[in-house]
Structure formats: C-alpha cells, structure tokens
C-alpha cells in the first residue's frame, strides 16, 4: 500500500530565506497512523504540514529539492486543489478557514468543488456533521459560531471528502481545555473507526501524546526524533527538555521510570512504587467567590484554612462591584461580577470558550462600559489583546515603543527590524512593550493579558512568565485570561474560574488548579491534587517524600496506594516556584 | 451594516430562491437609474426599506439608511457648488479657489437633491440584496456560468464582516497603546497590510478545500415555490412598468435650465405601484410562525 505521506531527503526554503525551513527531511507516515509533530516554534512543523497540503511551494513559493508524495501524488506536480482530494487540512485560526455563509454550505463546498452529485453532497454533509457532532449547527450562519464550534466546522469541512490523510496545525491552540480534549478524542475516534491517517502538530503534548502512535520531533527543520511516544519522551529528557511533558518531568525528577505517556501511565508507575496519593474529594478547593481566600480539602477528608494570598493594605489595583454586561439582543455575558485585585497580585482568569473572560478584560481596560455595576482601578490599566499583530502599525520596531520599554521586554537589540519580521514570541513581547509604555507614561497599576500564550511553545511561555513576574515584582497587578493550566500555574498566585459570566471559584492557584478535571495541571491530575502541587518539581518533591516515607514504614503502605497520612495536606505557598526562578532545562 | 452577509430568517423573501431575490432587487433598482422624478426615487427608497422590514431585516436597512444619509446630504450640497447650469440664481458666493465664480442656482440645488435621493435609493436596494439574498446561493447560481468570477464576487461580500471584525480589533488595540497614538497614515498602511494577510489566509483556505481544481457543478433542478413565483412575478411587473413608463414618457423630470416635472396622475400611479408591488408577496405568510410564537418556542427549547 502507498504511504499516506512520504518525504525523501526533502529540503525547502521560503523565498528570500537564509536557511531552509525543512532540511533534508526523510519521513514516512503509513496509512492509519496517528502521528504527532513536536518541536519548538520555528522548527518546521507548520512548513511540513503546508508542504503536505501543497501550499508549499505552490502558494508560498520557494525552492524545493528531494521528493514528497502524499497518497502517491507528487507534491511538486500537484497543487493544493488536487491534493485536497486526498489530504484534508486544518490550521490554527478557524476564522480564516471558513469561507461560506452557513455551516451546511461550508461542508458542501469541498464536495461541490469536486463536482459531486447533489445526492452525494447531501450524504457527505450529513455524515460529516454527525461524525463531528455538529448536525445541530448545519443551518447556523458561520459568523455566529464560537471559536470551538468554528474549529469543529473547519475540521468537518476538512474531513467531508473522506481524505486519506488529515493535516492539523495546532488545532487546539484557541480552544479551552474541555474543547481541546474533545477534539483530540474526536481525532482518535476518526483514526480508529475510519482509519484516517492523522498528522498533528501540537505544542501541548501532554494533551495528545496518549492518543499518538508515533511522535516526530523537529529541530531546526530536521527530524531529530522519530519514535513511539515513550521513546520520544526518553529522547526529550536528554536532548530537548523543553518538549518533555509535565508528567514525564515529574517522574524523571522523582527518579522513577519509564517516562509516562499520559496521566494513566504516570499513575500506574506511581502505584507500582506505592507512591500514588489516595483517592480523595477532588472538588474544587476554592473559597468564597470574590474573596481570594481558599479553603483546602485535605486528602484525608479534613478541611483546613490556608492563608489567602498576601494583600496590600492600600487601595486595590482593581475593584469590580456587581458588574453586569447585558447586550440588548442576547443573553448576559457577565452576571454580577465582584472582583478585587491587590497591587502586585497575579491572577489567572480561566473558563470555557465564551465564559466571558475577554469581555471582562475589555471592561476592566475601559474599552467598554458595563450595563450595570462599577469598575474602578487605582491607576492606568494596560491590556494586551489576543493578537499582537493588531498593535503593529509602524515599519520599525523602534517606532512602535519607547527604548526603555523595548529594553524592559528584551527587544532593544531588534529596534531596527521590521515588526512583521519578528517571531511570534518576539511580537508578543513587542506588543507588551507598546501597552506598557516608556518612562513618559505612568507604569500601569494593572496589566491584563488575553490569551497571551496562544501558539507559544513551552520555552516561550516560561520566558513570558519570567517577564510578567518581574513586572509584578514592581507592584503592577496582573490579570491573565488563559486556557492553559500549566501557564496559569507558572504565572499566577490566584485563579478565578468563570462560567457563564460569573466567577464560580476564586482561590489560591495551588488549590483551584489542583482540584479539577479540566482546569488542572497534568501534575495535579497525576497526583490527584495532593499537596496542591501544580508543577513537576513540586510534585516530584512530594513523590520523593512519599517514597522515603514508604521506605521508612513499609508495612504501612498498601501495594496500590500510599497511606493518606503520609501525604501533605496542602502545598505551602513557597513550594510554588516564582516565575522569576523558572527552571529552564 | 449595509454589506453584512445575509442571515436567514423566516420571511417570504428569504424563502424565495436567490435568482428571484436578485431579480427583485435589480428590478427595484432599475427605476432609480432611469428616472429623475423625486416621487419615483422616493418610492423606490421607501419600497426597499419597507421590503427589508417585512423580511425581518429592518435593523440592517435602518443602519444602511443612517450611513447613507450623510452621503446623500453631501451630494445634495456639493452639486450646486460645482454646477454652472440653471437660470434661477439664489445665492452669489463670489470667487472661490479652484471653483472660480460660484453662483448657486435653484435648479442645481434641486438636481443635487435628486442625485442624493437616487444614491439613497440605490444604497437601500443594495442593502436589501445583502440582507436577504444568500451569497452562497448566488455563488451556486452563477458559477455554472463563471465559477471564479462568481466566487470572487461572493467572497468579497463574505470578507466584509471578517475585515470589519479585524478593523474593530485593531481599533481596540490602538486604544490600548500607551503614549502617543500612531498617525492615520500608519494606521491605514497597517489596515491594508492586515487585509492582504487576510486575503492570503482565505486564498490558502480555498485552495485546500479544492477550489483550485473546481469543476463545473451539475445542474440542480428545484421546483418553484409559491414565494418564487410571487416575487418573480413582481420583479417582472416592476420591469415592465419601468420600461413602459420610460418609453411612454411618464414621470418626466428636468432640472435644467428650469425645474420642470410631470406631476400628474401617471407619476403618482407609477410611484404608488413601485412602492406597493414589492410588498404584496409578503402578505402570504402561511407556514411562517408569528415572531412572538417563534421566540416562545425557541425559549421553550432552551
């Protein structure tokens, strides 16, 4: 049988580029495989996917050498239109991939382009919509869909022609943890039930590794590792720690092995070493909404108070009192939000797509006025919106922001470059410099960031967390809307969870992010929230302590789980590493 | 938003096929192009507005009206300043740079109002088209003739809301800047660059959906509904009435050298017919639930 994708010594360079984006790549993906493409930003993942879809070189231009075949079709001889018959593509931003007015027409479009009969089109649309669970959306206008719905519709449009291979470039980057997990589960089901070959590029590897047959890691345009998920994690531990999943890092730091592919395997390893925390109440361990205080539910069932995050005695940086946002012709977006943030406090705002996070930030920054309620801030509020490109209007980095602001974000050396020539992470930092302003502008009392890690790799996230930590240390309060629990754990000392426009949990990060199923870090899910450990280092410390305890009292430990009394009640605040001390491996 | 993509609602005009919707809008716009008579132009504008309201797109048409009114006013005021025609001078403004000697005449002022009214009527007809005709169906309709041209035209309409969203985002981002706001030139350049980026993204999406190798689609035969027949009949009647009245010299209007118009029964009959005919098919609302009942049903399903 022909390979779904076959690259032989393929090298590709974009027009005018100094270095090739793909360098001597040899890769074979067989029919029915689910392959995850891993790698840092700029490593060549997207270019490889664009090559497989024919956009490279037919749309982007550039020079190609070597051979590339998709389902037996030579990529150099066949354009994206012809390759669309065998390869479905889904990219990061669903808004730019939907071209028709209604969902039904969007799904019918690829089949109409192939000249299918009306009956075949109707059947194809029906089946794809049922498979993706979007049958109820068929008559909806595409401009009225949420981000998650749009991504599903775009995926259905990619699948409706029953392609042999589906190419996905960070399809979960704009989705909340729930929708992201649903999408990965859906891909697994399509792969298992339809036999569709899937090539998936993703930064949040912990989300998709357990569904993968193989992982291909790219470094500087080359294939650096091609192995099964466990083999990839073993390679990443030595060669590319930035690609290691939190679960793998947790076990490696605790001196346990083999590296786990997902939460289930990690727990199995811990269970085998009698280091798995006991089952306990996993409910959100957050305190009264709006208080910022927290109550901790201990693994043993006892409850104790933990100290609230440190507050300044001065006026809070931000205070929201009964804020309602009620559009005239739709349901309320914010419902009586009460929130107070102290100077220097770092707050993560989490919740599903459409929960009201972005709306809240817009009202805090004064871009809109609430229907009812009051928003007051002790000083200037800076807001960094989702897309840094929206801020870039000049031809030169140095014209976009003041020199001291550029220095603060580490871009002073790039002041003569064109802003559009910067990498994604650099653009994000430049946008941050623009909203922060220079010495001639008062430093903000509050900095709001809306999904600042969209499409960022783990190393860039850590860099951003360090930068934000420095800002917070100067007294600027932070309010960060994010879907990424790992980043929230890295940057925040308090987490507010929004649902349907109202806060449903508000507490210390160690408690909110350790008690849930979706809004929890991988470390917390593995350890079942024990000790409030959110990151691999804190988790590993707990596991090591547990291993030592089990060694000291071997009779007390059951073969399956560790004794409850051996686990700490809650992680002390100091156990959470400050972003300025983030460990970069 | 006058050029916002059509969103489907329960109305006879939305239920009619795209070809009929296009024909109705074109037939309604034609008298605005052929006649100068203010009653006729007013009737066309009002008919488009009322048809939009009857189709449940009143808000879109009202927004179009609000956007068009300043444009209308500018035309009405500009014409007397730049036109030398007309015999009845009502103001002598003296010498002005570029324009020279400016004498405002009554005739030029009246004709400026006629031009403004014509622009208003045409904008409302276009807004009605954008509000009630599904661009996807237009694409299907025309791509048997010229797929690429039809797709380009339809996507141009589709890109409008996308670019509007981008524009709103950029405006918000500029409001978030600390310090001095960028110049308008820089903003325009950035907006243009953003639109080009968007166009490239959409082009890439089209390519990977197989647009590049699109084949001529098979003919789809669908039986004509009563709404199709009713609106097609109205479009045909409007066309016949317009051509007949034009050939018969009804509703003549001349602004120069002196204002002279036919204000007789023919003019008013023609205007009345242009106003009422497009509204007649909306009386047939069989099978369409009253709005309150539909809202109650939707609420019950929640």
Write down the ipTM of this complex: 0.76
Question: Which two structure tokens, joined as six digits, stand for A511?
Answer: 């408690």
Give mean pLDDT, residues A225-247: 94
Best probe of the A interface among B15, B58, B210, by most A CBs < 10 A, is B210
Q: Which residues of B touch A161 (CB under 8 A)?
A: 210
Closest-approach residue (CA) in chain A for B177 = A435
Please write the tens of the pLDDT for every residue from A536-558.
999 999 999 888 887 776 554 45
Higher pLDDT, B12 or A566: B12
- Find how far residue A136's CA is from the centre of its chain: 27
Query: For position B292, what pLDDT does the model report?
Result: 53
DSSP letter for each residue of A292-311: --EEEE-TTS-EEEEPPPP-
Give mean pLDDT, residues B242-251: 94
| A191 Cβ contact partners less than 8 Å away, ≥ 6 residues apart | A32, A34, A197, A198, A211
User: B249 in the Ramachandran plot: left (φ > 0), alpha (ψ -120 to 50) or beta?
Assistant: left
Minimal Cβ distance to B208: which of A80, A393, A435: A80
Classified as helix, coil or strand, A173 is coil
Closest-approach residue (CA) in chain B for A365 = B176
User: For residue A293, is pLDDT > 70?
Assistant: no
Query: For position A449, what pLDDT does the model report?
Result: 96
- The continuous run of DSSP H or E covering B39 comes out as helix B38-54
Give mean pLDDT, residues A476-492: 94
Query: For position A198, what pLDDT does the model report?
Result: 96
Residue A569 has φ and ψ, to the nearest 5°, of -70, -50
Query: CA nearest B51: which of B17, B14, B19?
Result: B14
Give mean pLDDT, residues A51-58: 92
- Find how far residue A440's CA is from the centre of its chain: 35
% of chain A beyond a pLDDT of 90: 53
| A420/B193 touch (CB, cutoff 8 Å), yes or no | yes
Query: For position B110, what pLDDT does the model report?
Result: 94
Whole-angstrom Cα distance, residue B6 to residue B137?
A: 11
Whole-angstrom Cα distance, residue B292 to residue B213?
A: 47
| B209/A139 touch (CB, cutoff 8 Å), yes or no | no
Give mean pLDDT, residues B182-192: 81
Specify if A275 maps to a domain: yes
- Ranking A206-215, A293-302, A324-333, B212-221 by mean pLDDT, the lowest is A293-302
Whole-angstrom Cα distance, residue B300 to residue B168?
A: 35
Specify if A220 maps to a domain: no
Q: What is the total count of domains within chain A?
A: 1
Higher pLDDT, B164 or A231: A231
Owner of token pair 């990061």: A92
Specify if A261 maps to a domain: yes
Whole-angstrom Cα distance, residue A190 to residue A211?
A: 11
Higher pLDDT, A581 or B134: B134
Q: CA torsion, points A163, A166, A167, A169, in degrees to nearest 10?
A: 130
Contacting A residues, span 393-452, partner chain B, CB-CB under 8 Å: 393-394, 402, 405, 420, 431, 434-438, 440-441, 444
| B211/A100 touch (CB, cutoff 8 Å), yes or no | no
Q: Which residues of B touch A55 (CB under 8 A)?
A: 204, 207-208
pLDDT, mean over chain A: 85
The CA distance from B60 to the nearest CA of chain A, in Å, is: 14
Specify if A557 maps to a domain: yes
pLDDT band at residue A516 using 50, 70 and 90 as cut-offs: confident
Q: What is the SS3 string spanning chain B?
A: CCCCCCCCCCCHHHHCCHHHHHHHHHHHHHHHHHCCCHHHHHHHHHHHHHHHHHCCCHHHHHHHHHHHHHHHHHHHHHHHHHCCCCCCEEEEEEEECCCEEEEEEHHHHHHHHHHHHHHHHHHHHHHHHHHHCCHHHHHHHHHHHHHHHHHHHHHHHHHHHHHHHHHHHHHHHHHCCCCCCCCHHHHHHHHHHHHHHHHHHHHHHHHHCCHHHCCCCCCCCCCCCHHHHHHHHHHHHHHHHHHHHHHHCCCCEECCCCCEECCCHHHHHHHHHHHHHHHHHHHCCCCCCCHHHHHHHHHHHC
Cβ-contact A527, A570 below 8 angstroms: no
Please write the tens of the pLDDT for every residue from B252-283.
999 899 988 878 899 999 999 999 999 999 99
Query: For position A35, what pLDDT does the model report?
Result: 97
pLDDT band at residue A306 using 50, 70 and 90 as cut-offs: very low
Cβ-contact A371, A364 below 8 angstroms: no
Q: ω into residue B112 within 30 of 0, thus cis?
A: no
Minimal Cβ distance to B162: which of A95, A110, A444: A95
Query: CA nearest A219: which of A248, A245, A240?
Result: A240
Per-domain residue ranges of chain B: 12-144+225-301
A153 at the B interface (CB within 8 A)?
Answer: no
pLDDT, mean over chain B: 84
- Find how far residue B168's CA is from the centre of its chain: 23
The CA distance from A364 to the nearest CA of chain B, in Å, is: 12
Higher pLDDT, A73 or A1: A73
Q: What range defines the domain where residue A264 resides?
A: 248-281+531-575
Query: For position A437, what pLDDT does the model report?
Result: 87
pLDDT band at residue B134 using 50, 70 and 90 as cut-offs: confident
| A59/B182 touch (CB, cutoff 8 Å), yes or no | no
Question: Which two structure tokens, joined as six digits, stand for A580?
Answer: 């300025």
User: For residue A30, is pLDDT > 80?
Assistant: yes
Give mean pLDDT, residues A141-167: 87
User: For residue A55, is pLDDT > 80?
Assistant: yes
Whole-angstrom Cα distance, residue B47 to residue B270?
A: 13
| A102/B173 touch (CB, cutoff 8 Å), yes or no | no
Residue A493's Cβ-side half-sphere holds a number of Cα atoms within 13 Å equal to 26
The CA distance from B224 to the nearest CA of chain A, in Å, is: 18
User: For residue A303, is pLDDT > 90?
Assistant: no
Query: For position A299, what pLDDT does the model report?
Result: 32
Cβ-contact B187, B172 below 8 angstroms: no
Higher pLDDT, A425 or A414: A414
Query: For position A8, what pLDDT does the model report?
Result: 96
Question: Which two structure tokens, joined as six digits, stand for A542?
Answer: 């707990």
Best probe of the B interface among A108, A113, A115, A329, by most B CBs < 10 A, is A113
Please write the tens of the pLDDT for every residue from A348-358.
999 988 889 99
% of chain B beyond a pLDDT of 90: 42
Cβ-contact A235, A242 below 8 angstroms: no
């Amino acid at each position: 049988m022909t390979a779904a994708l076959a690259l032989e010594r393929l090298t590709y360079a974009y027009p005018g580029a100094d270095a090739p984006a793909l360098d001597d790549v040899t890769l074979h993906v067989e029919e029915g495989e689910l392959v995850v493409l891993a790698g840092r930003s700029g490593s060549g993942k997207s270019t490889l996917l664009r090559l497989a879809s024919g956009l490279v070189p037919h749309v982007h231009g550039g020079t190609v050498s070597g051979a590339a075949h998709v389902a037996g079709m030579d990529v150099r001889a066949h354009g994206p239109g012809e390759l669309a018959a065998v390869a479905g593509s889904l990219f990061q931003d669903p808004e730019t991939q939907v071209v028709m007015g209604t969902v039904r027409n969007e799904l019918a479009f690829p089949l109409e382009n192939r000249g299918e009969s009306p009956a075949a089109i109707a059947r194809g649309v029906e089946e794809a919509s049922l498979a993706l669970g979007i049958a109820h959306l068929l008559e909806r206008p595409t401009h009225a869909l949420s981000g998650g719905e749009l991504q599903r519709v775009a995926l259905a449009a990619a699948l409706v022609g029953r392609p042999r291979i589906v190419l996905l470039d960070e399809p979960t980057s704009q989705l909340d943890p729930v929708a992201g997990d649903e999408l990965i589960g859906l891909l697994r089901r399509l792969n298992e039930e339809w036999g569709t070959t899937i090539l998936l590029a993703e930064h949040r590897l912990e989300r998709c590794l357990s569904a993968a047959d193989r992982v291909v890691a790219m470094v500087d345009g080359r294939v650096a590792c091609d192995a099964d998920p466990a083999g990839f994690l073993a390679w990443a531990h030595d060669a590319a720690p930035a690609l290691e999943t939190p679960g793998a890092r947790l076990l490696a730091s605790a001196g346990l092995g083999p590296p786990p592919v997902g939460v289930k395997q990690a727990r199995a390893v811990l269970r085998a070493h009698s280091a798995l925390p006991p089952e306990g109440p996993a409910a959100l361990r957050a305190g009264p909404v709006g208080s910022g205080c927290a109550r901790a539910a201990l693994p043993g069932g006892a409850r104790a108070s933990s100290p609230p995050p440190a507050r300044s005695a001065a006026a809070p940086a931000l205070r929201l009192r009964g804020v309602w946002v009620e559009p005239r012709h739709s349901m309320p977006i914010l419902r009586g939000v009460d929130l107070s943030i102290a100077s220097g406090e770092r707050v993560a705002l989490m919740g599903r797509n459409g929960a009201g996070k972005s709306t809240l930030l817009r009202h805090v920054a004064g871009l809109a006025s609430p229907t009812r309620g009051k928003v007051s801030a002790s000083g200037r509020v800076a807001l960094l919106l989702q897309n840094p490109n929206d801020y870039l209007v000049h031809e030169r980095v140095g014209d976009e922001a003041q020199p001291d602001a550029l220095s603060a974000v580490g871009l002073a050396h790039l002041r003569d470059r064109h802003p559009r020539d910067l990498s994604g992470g650099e653009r994000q930092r430049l946008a941050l410099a623009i909203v922060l302003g220079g010495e001639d502008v008062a430093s903000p009392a509050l900095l709001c960031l809306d999904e600042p890690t969209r499409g960022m790799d783990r190393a860039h996230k850590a860099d951003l967390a360090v930068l934000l930590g420095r800002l917070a240390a100067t007294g600027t309060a932070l309010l960060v809307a994010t879907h990424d629990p790992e980043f929230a754990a890295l940057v925040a000392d308090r987490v507010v969870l929004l649902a349907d426009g109202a806060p449903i949990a508000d507490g210390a990060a160690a408690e909110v992010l350790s008690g849930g199923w979706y809004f929890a870090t991988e470390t917390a899910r593995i350890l079942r929230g024990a000790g409030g450990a959110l990151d691999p280092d804190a988790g590993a410390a707990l596991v090591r302590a547990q291993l030592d305890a089990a060694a000291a009292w071997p009779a007390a430990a059951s073969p399956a789980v560790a004794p409850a009394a051996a686990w700490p009640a809650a992680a002390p605040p100091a156990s959470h590493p400050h972003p300025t001390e983030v460990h970069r491996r | 938003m006058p050029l916002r993509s059509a969103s489907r609602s329960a109305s006879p005009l939305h239920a009619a096929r795209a070809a009929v919707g296009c024909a109705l809008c074109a037939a309604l716009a034609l008298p605005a192009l052929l006649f100068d008579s203010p009653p006729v132009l007013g009737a066309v504008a009002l008919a488009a507005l009322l048809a939009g309201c009857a189709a449940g797109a009143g808000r879109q048409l009202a927004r179009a009206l609000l956007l068009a009114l300043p444009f209308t006013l500018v035309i009405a005021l500009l014409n007397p300043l730049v036109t030398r025609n007309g015999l009845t001078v009502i103001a002598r403004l003296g010498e002005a740079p570029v324009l020279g000697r400016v004498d405002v005449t009554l005739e030029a002022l009246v004709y400026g109002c006629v031009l403004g009214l014509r622009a208003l009527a045409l904008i409302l007809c276009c807004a009605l088209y954008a509000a009630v005709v599904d661009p996807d169906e237009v694409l299907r309709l025309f791509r048997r003739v010229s797929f690429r041209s039809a797709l380009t035209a339809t996507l141009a309409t589709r890109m409008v809301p996308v670019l509007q969203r981008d524009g709103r985002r950029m405006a918000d981002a500029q409001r978030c800047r600390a310090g001095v706001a960028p110049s308008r030139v820089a903003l325009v350049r950035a907006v243009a660059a953003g639109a080009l980026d968007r166009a490239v993204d959409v082009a890439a999406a089209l390519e990977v959906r197989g647009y590049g190798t699109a084949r001529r689609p098979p003919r789809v035969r669908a039986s004509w509904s009563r709404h199709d027949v009713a609106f097609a009949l109205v479009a045909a009647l409007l066309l016949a009435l317009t051509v007949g009245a034009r050939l018969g010299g009804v509703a003549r209007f001349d602004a120069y050298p002196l204002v002279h118009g036919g204000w007789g029964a023919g003019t008013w009959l023609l205007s009345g017919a242009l106003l009422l005919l497009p509204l007649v098919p909306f009386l047939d609302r069989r099978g369409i639930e009253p709005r309150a009942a539909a809202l109650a049903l939707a609420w019950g399903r929640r």
